[in-house]
Amino acid sequence: AHELVGRFKEWGFEVILSIGEMEENRIGSNCGQYVTKYLKNEK
């Protein structure tokens, strides 16, 4: 993760590294999973 964060910083982005709860991943409730699910349902 640190290598990826470093690359984004080199490209001029501000970066916040946030590690989610495993329970959120299990039930699919983190933001990225929600957006992906929403976009798939829009098609």
Determine the residue type at 19: I
Q: Are the C-beta atoms of 8 and 15 separated by less than 8 Å?
A: yes
Q: Per-domain residue ranges for the chain?
A: 2-42
pLDDT at 43 over 70: no
Determine the residue type at 22: M
pLDDT value, residue 3: 94
pLDDT value, residue 40: 87
pLDDT at 39 over 70: yes
| Residue 19 to residues 23, 24, 31, 40, 43, Cα–Cα distance (Å) | 12, 11, 12, 24, 30
Structural tokens at position 24: 């959120």
Q: Is the pTM of this model over 0.85?
A: no
- Report the share of the chain in percent with pLDDT over 90: 30
* Averaged pLDDT for residues 33-38: 77
Q: Are the C-beta atoms of 37 and 43 separated by less than 8 Å?
A: no
